[in-house]
Amino acid sequence: MESLLYLPDNEYQKSFESEVTKTKEDDKYIVLEKTLLYKEGGGQPSDRGKISWKDGEAEVVDVQKRQGEVRHYLEGDIPEPGTKVNGEINWERRYKHMRMHTAQHILSWVVLNMFDASTAGNQIHEDYSRIDFKPVEFSERDVEKIEKAANSLIQKELEVEKKMMDRELLEDRVQEGRTNIDIIPSGIDPLRIVVIGGEDICPCGGTHVDNLKEIGKIRITNRKSKGANAERIEFELEE
Ligand SMILES: [Zn+2]
């Protein structure tokens, strides 16, 4: 299994060196010994970037985990196995995802505390994101309250800590309803966790900012009912 260089707490590195361990010409993907590029998952889209080597270069147009390997899909030349490469991530896109993903954690935390509702799903994009909650029904007034509570946490400039934690300890410490640890395969131990302000603990393999002040301001742009006792909110970030 290749190593993921951005874990557990290395989201700000923008370039890396690695070696190709597998090449699949027909499907235009390579596997690297180690990588900084985020593979799609957990509601967060994959990174984009560039791979270059002595006599070639390619754009990374997608990164997906399939059959236990992280596949970097390329446009351009395809390097042979054994080739030493330099990798670079598209930082602008990545940083937007980092800010969005941490904003999603804040909103999930706020809604759990205010309404005792869990996050049932989420999808992050560069420009807007959405979260589904249940069981809950929001009023317009509730949406304002959520936005205000989330932004006041940002104003406190809380630190975001990322580290590994033993599964057993995590099961003890995670707030009820915050996440369903049981759906994470039991072989994964320890788990990578994201802790906001020393209080909100969530197992997550995504990329996050180091301090809430980097997020800017959360603006909830839309809310809709997703059936009985389920709500979806959409939000954007202002610098
Ligand atoms: Zn997450």
C-alpha of residue 212 to centroid of ligand 1, in Å: 14
C-alpha of residue 55 to centroid of ligand 1, in Å: 38
> Both 234 and 119 in a single domain?
yes
C-alpha of residue 203 to centroid of ligand 1, in Å: 7
C-alpha of residue 206 to centroid of ligand 1, in Å: 5
Segments forming the whole domain that contains residue 83: 3-89
> Both 20 and 54 in a single domain?
yes
C-alpha of residue 80 to centroid of ligand 1, in Å: 34
Asked if pLDDT for residue 175 goes beyond 80, the answer is: yes
> Both 111 and 225 in a single domain?
yes
Q: What is the CATH number of the domain that holds 26?
A: 2.40.30.130
Q: Which phi and psi (to 5°) does residue 55 adopt?
A: -125, 35
Give the SS3 label for residue 234.
Answer: strand
Please write the tens of the pLDDT for every residue from 106-165.
Answer: 999 999 999 999 999 999 999 999 999 999 999 999 999 999 999 999 999 999 999 999
Residue 100 neighbours by CB distance under 10 Å: 29
Please write the tens of the pLDDT for every residue from 29-59.
Answer: 999 999 999 999 999 999 999 999 999 999 9
What is the pTM (predicted TM-score) of this model? 0.97
Q: Where among 89, 108, 135 does a domain terminate? A: 89
Please write the tens of the pLDDT for every residue from 201-214.
Answer: 999 999 999 999 99
How do 3-4 and 34-35 pair as beta strands?
parallel
Note if the bond before 190 is cis, omega within 30 degrees.
yes
